Amino acid sequence: MKFKNYILHTLLILILTNTANGQLSKEQSQNIDSLFMGWNKPNHPGGSIAVMQNGKVVFSKGYGLSSLEYLSPNSTETIFNIGSISKQFTAMGIVLLEEQGKLSFDDDVKKHIPEFPDFGNTITIRHLLHHTSGLRDIHGLLALAGWRGSDEINNDDVNRILLKQNKLNFTPEDKLMYSNTGYIIMVTIIESITGQKFKSWMKQNIFEELGLINTYVEDQFDRVVVNNATSYHMEDEFTRNIDYWNYIGSGNMHSTTSDMLKWSNNFSNPKEGWQSAFEKLQITGVFNDGKKSYYGFGLRIEKHMGKKIIQHGGSIGGFRAVLRCYPDDELNIVLLTNFRGSDIIYRADKIAEFILTREENKVKPEEENSPEDPYQFIKLSKKKLSKFEGTYWEINEKYGRKIYVKNDTLMYSRSGGSENALIPISKNTFKMLGVDVKLIVKFEVKPSKMTVLVEEEPPYIFELIDGVEKADKKELSGYIGRYYSPEMETNYSLTVEKGEAYVHFMKFGKIKLKRIYKDKFEGSWPVNNLEIKRNKRSKVIGLQITNGRTMNVWFDKISN
C-alpha cells in the first residue's frame, strides 16, 4: 500500500511539474519553456516558473530537481525560500497596523522600542521601510563581530548588536542604502504593538486572509517541511548551500509560485478591503535634496520596456527569487529557484518581452524612456586618456578605484581585479561598458576628482590620491597593536611581517592588508577597507573598518 501511495504521489508531482495553461500562443509558451530547458539536465537543480495575466495563470511549470540527493523534481507546488521578497510582506504588516491607527509611518522608532540607540538623528518607521535610515547593514556588523555565514543567527543576536551601535552610515534620508537591519527592527515593532509573535501574527492577518496557504515565516532553518526545495551552489560540482540564518523580517519567508501569483495579482486586482494597503506599499521615498527614490515599502517601482513594474528579488543560500508585476498589463511573473547562478533577472525580462511584444501590447514611441543607447562615442588619443590615470578614493563610502590605459582604452578597475572599459562620449565624460545599468564616469582635472553617475542613485564622488609609495618602518611600527570596538565588543590585532601589514582576529585568522594610500588599506571580507586614524600629533589612536553597507566601524587602539 505504501508503494502505491508513493507511485501516486510521484505521478502527481510529475503532472504538476509539467503543467502549462494556455492563454499564451504556442510560440510564446515554447519561447518561455526554452529559457529553462537547461535546468532539466540530469542531476541539476532548477526552479518553478509561473505567469499570470488578466487574473488567469497562463504558464506554470517546474524544472530540474528540488533535491539532488533524492532526485525529486521541482514542481508547481515546491516551496522555496523567497529571500528579500519577504520584505514587502513585513512592510504590509506595518501598513495594516497603520490603517488600524496603531502606528504612524513617521513615528520615531524609539516610540515603539524605547531602548533603541540614540544616533543624534530621529529614525522613523518610514526610514526603515525606504532603506533611508542610515543604519548599518547587519551582515557586515555580524561579520566584523566574528560571525561566519554558517553560524545560526536569529533576531535576538541581531538586536543585541544593534543596541550597541552609536553611529550611522549617513544622515537619514540623505540617500538610499539597502539595509536588512531596518526590516528586522520592524519585527520587534510589530510584536510590541500586537503582543503576538511575528510568525503567527503574519499567518493570521496576511497569509490566511489572502489565501496564501503555502506561505510562512521560517525561523528555524533545520526544520523539516514537506515539499521544501534544497539549495545548491556549483563550482566544479553542485554542493549544498545551506541558508543557516534564522532571523526574520528582512528574509526567510517560504512560499510557492502559486501563492506568489495570488499576492502579486493584488497590485492590479486587489482583494476587497485591501486596495489602499497595496497602494501604500508603492509609496516611494523622497530624499533630503528633494529627489525621488525608486524604492517603496519593500518594493522597487521601476520601468521595463517603457512600462511600470513593481518588483523585488530575493537571495539567500543558493535560493534566488524574483517577483514582478506589470500592473497596467495585469501581468505577473514569478521565478523561484534553488541554485546560485540561475540568472533569473535576465529570464524574467525575456518572459515579459515574449508576452508584451504582441502587437496590441507594443510600447508606443512616445512612451519610451529614451533610446537604448543615446550616447555618441568619440575618439580620444592615448595621451588625452592618460591624464585621467590614477587611484581614486570614494570619500563617502571609503573604497578605492584604479583608472589606467590599456590597449588605447581607459579602464576602471575594482578591488579583486575586475575591470570595465570606459568609452568617451565627451572630452572628460565616459560610458562604462559591461554593466547592467547606465553608468557614466566624469573626470575633473583641477581639482582632480572622478564622479560616477548610476541611474536613479546619488553620485559617487572620488578624489585622486597620490601614488602608492611603500610605507617606511616607522610608519608601519606605529600600526602595531591591539584595537577594540565597543560597538562590536571585539578585539583585533595589527601586526607587521616582512614589511607587510596584517589584521588578526581569532575567528577568521590573518588577513593581509594591501596599502592603497597613506593609512588606507584594502583587505578581504570582512575587512574590505581599513583606515588608520591619528591625533594632532600624528600618533595612531584607532582605526575604522568599512565593508560595503557597514561603514566606519570604530576600533580604539588599546595597546602597542
According to CATH, the topology of domain 382-465 is: Lipocalin (2.40.128)
The answer, yes or no, to whether residue 543 has pLDDT greater than 90, is yes
- Read off the pTM: 0.84
Q: How many Å apart are CA 510 and CA 530, to the nearest integer?
A: 14
The answer, yes or no, to whether residue 253 has pLDDT greater than 70, is yes
Count helices and strands in the chain by DSSP H and E runs: 14, 29
Percent of the chain with pLDDT over 70: 91
Do residues 461 and 396 make contact, with C-beta atoms less than 8 angstroms apart?
A: yes
What was the pLDDT predicted at 10?
42
Q: What cell was used for 416?
A: 579583486
What was the pLDDT predicted at 274?
97
Q: How many Å apart are CA 406 and CA 537, to the nearest integer?
A: 42
What was the pLDDT predicted at 364?
45
pLDDT-based confidence at residue 416 (cuts at 50, 70, 90): low
Across all residues in the chain, what is the average pLDDT? Answer: 89
Q: Which residues pair with 302 in a beta bridge?
A: 309
What was the pLDDT predicted at 518?
84
According to CATH, the topology of domain 81-143+151-367 is: Beta-lactamase (3.40.710)
What was the pLDDT predicted at 209?
97
- The domains of the chain are located at 81-143+151-367, 382-465, 473-559
Q: What cell was used for 309?
A: 513594474
Contacts of 513 (CB under 8 A, 6+ apart): 500, 501, 502, 503, 521, 522, 523, 527, 530
Query: Quick one: three-class SS letters along 427-460?
Result: CCEEEECCCCCCEEEEEECCCCEEEEEECCCCCE
Q: How many Å apart are CA 202 and CA 157, to the nearest integer?
A: 21
According to DSSP, the β-strands at 449-454 and 419-424 are unpaired
Q: For 514-533, what is each residue's pLDDT tens digit? A: 888 888 898 999 999 999 99
Q: What cell was used for 521?
A: 588599506
Average pLDDT of span 354-376: 56
Q: What cell was used for 72?
A: 525529486
What was the pLDDT predicted at 8?
41
What was the pLDDT predicted at 371?
41
The answer, yes or no, to whether residue 334 has pLDDT greater than 50, is yes
At 87 the three-state DSSP class reads helix
What was the pLDDT predicted at 6?
38
Neighbours of 381 (CB within 10 A): 8
What was the pLDDT predicted at 400?
81
The answer, yes or no, to whether residue 511 has pLDDT greater than 90, is yes
What was the pLDDT predicted at 391?
86
Q: Which residue has the higher pLDDT, 245 or 416?
A: 245
Least confident of 62-71, 143-152, 261-270, 475-484: 143-152
Q: Among candidates 537, 540, 544, which has minimal Cα distance to 558?
A: 540
What was the pLDDT predicted at 15?
42
Percent of the chain with pLDDT over 90: 72
What was the pLDDT predicted at 144?
94
Q: For 173-182, what is each residue's pLDDT tens digit? A: 999 999 999 9
At 461, which helix (H) or strand (E)? strand 460-465
Q: Among candidates 392, 433, 394, 393, which has minimal Cα distance to 410?
A: 433
Q: How many Å apart are CA 478 and CA 495, to the nearest integer?
A: 10
The answer, yes or no, to whether residue 90 has pLDDT greater than 80, is yes
Average pLDDT of span 426-453: 89
The answer, yes or no, to whether residue 154 has pLDDT greater than 80, is yes
At 346 the three-state DSSP class reads helix
Q: For 447-491, what is each residue's pLDDT tens digit? A: 889 999 987 677 889 998 866 667 778 888 999 999 999 999 999
What was the pLDDT predicted at 165?
95
> CATH classification of 473-559 is 2.40.128.50, yes or no?
yes
81-143+151-367 with 473-559: one CATH topology? no
Contacts of 217 (CB under 8 A, 6+ apart): 86, 198, 199, 202, 203, 248, 252, 253
Average pLDDT of span 500-507: 91
Average pLDDT of span 167-196: 96
Q: What cell was used for 52?
A: 499570470
Q: How many Å apart are CA 527 and CA 531, to the nearest integer?
A: 10
Q: How many Å apart are CA 369 and CA 455, to the nearest integer?
A: 13
What was the pLDDT predicted at 152?
84
The answer, yes or no, to whether residue 219 has pLDDT greater than 50, is yes
Contacts of 469 (CB under 8 A, 6+ apart): none
